[in-house]
Amino acid sequence: MKEYLQQLTEFCRNTLVDNLGMEFIAAGEGWLDVKMPIDHRTCRPDGALHGGANMALAETVGGALSSMSVPEEQRFRVFGIEVNGNHMKQAKGAYVIAHGKFMHRGKRTHVVEVEIHDEYGTLVTVNRVTNVIV
């Protein structure tokens, strides 16, 4: 699995994922963890973590998890069709970690639940990402 995480990182070079400093850190059957810094790339002018950065993180986790679970020839045929999130608390510290797991894994659609916690374990945002596989 570590090899696949390195492939994901390499594949995302020079993209939004790379520009926001996201790092694929752990994965297993039906789940994926991605770390993102809380810094000048991901914060609002007042220094708080931007809600849009959290949404980008959630969609990244959901899309990557769906891609991991389909045959290799279909990996580039996964598309996000809906993402929503509820921001619970302001993130503290230097980073957040998003943990995604499947709620539904069908042949044509996937629904992924993504919880984002700050480095102290505080729940920051809860997301649901829906992907279609074509």
Residues 92 and 118: their CA atoms lie apart, in Å, by 6
Beta bridge pairs of residue 73: none
How far apart are the C-alpha atoms of 8 and 106, rounded to whole Å? Answer: 23
59: annotated active-site residue: yes
Burial class (CB in 10 A: 0-12, 13-18, 19+), 24: buried
Query: What single DSSP character describes residue 36?
Result: E
From 10, 59, 82, 115, the catalytic residue? 59
Q: Which of 75, 78, 74 is nearest to 112 (CA)?
A: 78
3-state secondary structure of 42: coil
Bridge partner residues of 108 (DSSP): none
> Which active-site residues does the annotation give?
59
